[in-house]
Each structure stands twice: as C-alpha cells, then as structure tokens.
Amino acid sequence: MSTPGPAPVTAGADEARRLDAADPLPTLRGEFLVPPAPGGAYAEAAYFAGNSLGLQPRATADRIAAELADWARLGVEGHTQGRRPWVDYHELLREPAARLVGALPHEVVAMNTLTVNLHLMMATFYRPAGERTRIVIEDTAFPSDSYAVASQAVHHGLDPAATVVRLRPRDGEEHLRTEDVRAFLEREGRTVALLLLGGVNYLTGQLMDMEAITAAGRAAGAAVGWDLAHAAGNVPLRLHDWGADFAAWCTYKYLNGGPGSVAGCFVHERHVRDAALPRLSGWWGTERAGRFAMAPDIAPPPTADAWQLSNPPILALAPVLVSYEIFDRVGMPALRAKSERLTGHLARRFAEIGADVVTPADPARRGAQLSVRVAGAGAAAERLAREHGVIADAREPDIVRFAPAPLYSTFLDCHRAAEALAAVLREK
C-alpha cells in the first residue's frame, strides 16, 4: 500500500497578507535589496537564507561611497579629517555592538573575521596544563570551529583525537541537552581547559542555554567561549551578565554586513584590564595615544581593543555600521518577538504539509531557523529557488534550512515557502 503524500497547504496568501498588515512590527523589507524571483506570481524572492548571507541594506552602497569619496578627496588625511575619521572608525561600532550582544562597551571590538577571532581568543584563554588540556565542542559544530580547535591542540603539541571532545545528543535525539552538558562537566570538568560551543547550532537551529552552560563550565574551572555566528542578531544575548570569558560572531548572516564582513569579539570585563594576559599583539592593540610614537613596547588599553592587530578595514566596516544602526533603531526585543511570530507561523505551515522539522519545537529553544530533513537537500533547495522563487539553504546530505529573518521576511514569504516545499515533497 502506498504512503499518502504530504497534505496541501491550507493557509492562503490572503491570510498571510492580513497577518503582515496587522503585525505590531511592520516589515523593514523596503530597506533591503531583495533578489528577484525567477518568474511567476511574485516579483521578489522569498528569501530564507539570511542565516547564510543576509540581504544588502539599501543604505550600504551610499555609506561605502562616502568613504571612497573621502579617500579621493583627502587621501591619507582621511584618517583624521574624514566625515567619520578612519583612525577611530571601529569605535563607532562599539556601543551598538555592545547593546546587540548584552555587553559593556569596553568589552567588545569589531575586528577580523570569526575564525581569526576565535584563534586570537584561544591564544589567550586556551592554556592547557597538567591534566586540564581538553577542548569541548558540540559534535555538529560548524566545520571551521572543528578545524580551529584541532589546530590549537596541534599548536600546543597535543593529539587532537585525544584533546577535542565532541558532545553528542542522546541516541535517537537531534539536540544536545543542557543537563547532559552539565553532567559531563561535573564528571570530567577537571580535564577541560576550554568549553567552546555554538550559541545557536548552525545545522539544527537549536538555541543553547548559554547562561546555564556558561555557569557549569566556569564551575568546572574551564574557560568558556561562545561562537555566536548564528546567534548575534538572531536571539537576545546577555554576555556580560552570563559571564563567559569570550565570544565571537560574524556579521554577514543575520547582521547583513556583506560577504566576509568584519566580525565582532567580546572579552569579559574581568579580563580586559589584565595587561599580563598572554595574547597575540599588533599595532592597533596598543593605546591610541601612543600608537604613532612607534615605540617597540606595547601598552594595551583596558578594553577589548587590546586584542586588535591591524588598522580597521574601513570599506568593510562601513556596511557593518549600517547594519548595527538598523538593529539599534529597531531593538532586539521587538525583533525577537517578530522572529517568534514568523518562525511559529512557518512551523505551523510545515506541520500541515508533514515536513520533517528537526529544529526544536519550543520557541524558547530555537532562533529564526527551521531545518527540514529532505533527501537530496541540494537538489531540493535548487528546485525551491528555480521553480518557486523561494531561496533556502541546503546542508548535505539531507537538511534544508529556512531562516525567516524578522527585518525583511514576511508571513507571505512563509506561505510561499510552505507551498513550495509541499510541491517538492509531493514529487519526492
């Protein structure tokens, strides 16, 4: 006997439009450049790949053009005489970034890219000694994190196979339980030098209990760091209050800073004033007042700036500043509330069509992402885009990720995604 296919989508486009019109936070879609749909009833794509690369704000091109104009008009004098002087440009991002991640301004800095920042943080906070040598990550950590921690083990003369611990969910489960992380740390914490997990898992969309896990890691005597690539701009964060030693995030996903844009870094206040901490240093990591004295000895400031290496890339920082300004204007509480409404609506539509969603059903345990198990994920995502104008993100072999970003995604987009996925699943 054949198995019935997925049921058709029941919620219509008219209902979705009513929800969009009545939502307490009107969409900011008009402030972004949305790719065109390949044809059919809609001019614009329904864009659900903001967890991979966010859309371009319309203001970005003008902001970059302004820096190019200052360069043309002023040359080197742009460092001190530009509309936004370059020598201090990264400081423009400090306070909005701090508000975004729940930190004090002197605990954050815009610099480098995510994995570079993780390496710089591990140069300070991963200090294996005696039996305390292990690095703990989640089994489904983003590959770059896996590569980074393994290379850190090798750098310290250790065997990655014995040094890196990959925490796995229980058999038959998709998600790592907080109580299992705690139990591991209580049992084996004396051997753990560093706990480094993703705040939101890139594959499943699970939101970790960062407060509880940070407390457990610190109680075990380990340094605690967070990869916030999929959390910054997605979920509310309180890094200072939670007390993690460090965190790092990229800005090209939910933060819409552009491909490979300049990342962010957090170092807790209890560390930033400690000039004796080991760190890899560079020119921009010394006090601004003495930077151009060209002295051979560094004088690190009592801020996260002490971990900077080089002068900021202004043309790459300009789009990030635009994004931080948007988030600052709207605020994470309002964005999180809309995210829960959109993601909840999409989850209901996916349930109607019988989609196999592996993301936690509890809104408190997920961000703006639903991961759906679909055989041949890459081909399925290609069909969604080509035939339906729905842009999602595939992770082979069998996960298609849909991220309804609250700045520009709509309930109508969610309707289109469910309708398109239903068509793909019926044919499969």
> Which of 292, 308, 328 is the last residue before a domain boundary?
328
Give domain status of residue 267, yes or no: yes
Give domain status of residue 4, yes or no: no
Give domain status of residue 57, yes or no: no
Looking at residue 123, the DSSP 8-state letter turns out to be H
| Cα 421 to Cα 401: distance, rounded to the nearest angstrom | 12
146/230 same-domain check: yes
Token code pair at residue 321: 């500043």
- List, as residue ranges, the binding site for pyridoxal 5'-phosphate: 114-115, 142-145, 227, 230, 252, 283, 311
pLDDT score of 11:
47
Report the CATH number at residue 118: 3.40.640.10
Decide if pLDDT at 1 tops 70: no
Quote the mean pLDDT of the chain.
95
The string of pLDDT tens digits covering residues 42-94 is 999 999 999 999 999 999 999 999 999 999 999 999 999 999 999 999 999 99
Give domain status of residue 58, yes or no: no
Looking at residue 102, the DSSP 8-state letter turns out to be T
| Cα 248 to Cα 90: distance, rounded to the nearest angstrom | 16
Confidence bin at 370 (pLDDT 50/70/90): very high
Of the listed ranges 2-16, 286-300, 399-413, the least confidently predicted one is 2-16
215/239 same-domain check: yes
Decide if pLDDT at 7 tops 70: no
The number of C-alpha atoms within 13 Å of 99 and in the hemisphere containing its C-beta is 14
| Cα 101 to Cα 175: distance, rounded to the nearest angstrom | 24
79/227 same-domain check: yes
Q: Are strands 164-167 and 134-138 parallel, antiparallel or unpaired?
A: parallel
44/68 same-domain check: no
240/348 same-domain check: no
Number of structural domains (the chain) is 2
Report the CATH number at residue 36: 3.90.1150.10
274/397 same-domain check: no
217/340 same-domain check: no
Q: Which residues are tagged catalytic?
A: 142, 227, 252-253, 401
- List, as residue ranges, the binding site: 114-115, 142-145, 227, 230, 252, 283, 311
The string of pLDDT tens digits covering residues 154-177 is 999 999 999 999 999 999 999 999
Of the listed ranges 41-45, 92-96, 240-244, the least confidently predicted one is 41-45
Domain that holds residue 245: 64-328
The string of pLDDT tens digits covering residues 300-331 is 999 999 999 999 999 999 999 999 999 999 99
pLDDT score of 38:
86
The string of pLDDT tens digits covering residues 269-300 is 999 999 889 999 999 999 998 888 889 999 99
